[in-house]
A and B are shown apart, each in its own frame.
Chain A
Amino acid sequence: MGRTSSFEDLLEITSLKQLQEKTGNWFQSLTLLEAQKLQRHINGLGASTHNVKLGFIHTYTSDLLNPWLEFHASIHDIDLDIYHAPYGMNVFEAQAGSGLVQHNPDLTVFMLQREDLHPLIKQPVTGLSVEQQRSLKDDAVANVIKILKAFRHALHGRMVVTILPSRFSAETGMYDLQSEFSEVDWWSNVKKEISRQIDETLDSTAYMDLDSLLASVGRQQFFDLRYWYTTRYPFAAQAANLFARQLVSVVEVICKPKAKVIILDADNTMWGGVIGEDGINGIALGPDYPGNAFIDFQRRILDFKERGFILAICSKNNHQDVIEVLQNHPHQVLREDMFSALKINWEPKHINIQAIAKELNLGLDSFIFVDDSDYECGVVRKELPQVHVVQTPKKAVDIPYCLDNISRLEILSLTQEDKNKTQLYAQERQRKALQSKVSDGGGDIEEYLHSLQMEMSIELNAEHWVERLAQLTQKTNQFNLTTRRYSEQQVQEYISSNNWLVASFSLADAFGDSGVVGLLLIELQGPDAARIDTLLMSCRVIGRKAESAFLETVLTSLQQQGISLVRAEYIPTMKNKLVQDFYSNHQFSTSDNFAFERSLIEQKPLRADDFPMKISLAS
Chain B
Amino acid sequence: MDTQEHVIQIVAETLNLSTSEINESSAMENLELWDSMAQVNLMMSIEQTFDLELDPEDFMKLNSVSNIVEYVDNQ
Contacts and interface: CB of A to CB of B under 8 A. Distances in A.
Nearest to A237: B44
A544 to B, nearest CB: 56
Interface string B41-75: 10011001100001110010000000000000000
A231 B13 CA distance: 21
Interface stretch (A14-22, A222-230, A378-386, A508-516): A222-230
B14 A36 contact: yes
Contacts of A524: none
**Interface residue SS majority, chain B:** helix
Interface in B12-64: 13-14, 16, 36-37, 40-41, 44-45, 48-49, 54-56, 59
A64 interface: yes
B8 interface: no
B13 A33 contact: yes
A226 B48 contact: no
B14 to A, nearest CB: 7
Contact of A227 (B10, B14, B40, B55): B40
Contacts of A393: none
B55 to A, nearest CB: 8
Given A36-B13, A37-B13, A233-B40, A31 B56 contact: no
B45 A33 contact: yes
A432 B10 CA distance: 63
B21 to A, nearest CB: 15
Interface residues of A, number: 15
Contacts of B37: 63-64
B44 A231 contact: no
A67 interface: yes
Point out which of A31, A33, A64 has the most chain B C-beta atoms below 10 A from its C-beta: A33
B41 to A, nearest CB: 6
Contacts of A226: 54-56, 59
A72 B49 CA distance: 21
A565 interface: no
Question: Chain B interface residue count: which class?
Answer: 10 to 19
B13 to A, nearest CB: 5
B40 A237 contact: no
A5 B54 CA distance: 27
A64 B56 contact: no
A111 to B, nearest CB: 15
A190 interface: no
Contact of A237 (B36, B48, B55, B56): B48
A32 B44 contact: yes
A67 B40 contact: no
Given A64-B41, A67-B41, A31 B54 contact: no
A461 B4 CA distance: 67
A208 to B, nearest CB: 24
A36 B14 CA distance: 8
A231 B10 CA distance: 21
Interface string A206-237: 00000000000000000000110111010001
A172 B72 CA distance: 42
A85 B37 CA distance: 15
B40 A231 contact: yes
Contact of A31 (B16, B48, B55): B48
Interface in A96-111: none
B18 to A, nearest CB: 11
Interface string A29-44: 0011100110000000
Interface string A1-35: 00000000000000000000000000000011100
Contacts of B59: 226, 230
B37 to A, nearest CB: 6
Contacts of A231: 36, 40
A67 B42 CA distance: 12
Nearest to B43: A227
Contacts of A63: 37
A227 B43 CA distance: 10
A400 B14 CA distance: 37
Contacts of A36: 13-14, 16
A31 B59 CA distance: 19
B46 to A, nearest CB: 9
Given A230-B56, A230-B59, A33 B40 contact: no
A33 B14 CA distance: 7
A33 B10 contact: yes
B40 A32 contact: no
Contacts of B13: 33, 36-37
Point out which of B10, B41, B48 has the most chain A C-beta atoms below 10 A from its C-beta: B41
A67 B40 CA distance: 12
B40 A31 contact: no
A227 B54 CA distance: 11
A230 B40 CA distance: 10
B40 A64 contact: yes
Contacts of A64: 37, 40-41
A237 B36 CA distance: 17
The 3 closest A-B pairs by CB, nearest first: A31-B48, A33-B45, A226-B56
Given A33-B48, A227-B40, A231-B40, 19 more contacts: A31-B49, A32-B41, A32-B45, A33-B10, A33-B13, A33-B14, A33-B49, A36-B13, A36-B14, A64-B37, A64-B40, A67-B41, A226-B59, A227-B44, A230-B56, A231-B36, A233-B40, A237-B44, A237-B48
6 contacts: A36-B13, A36-B14, A64-B40, A67-B41, A226-B55, A237-B44
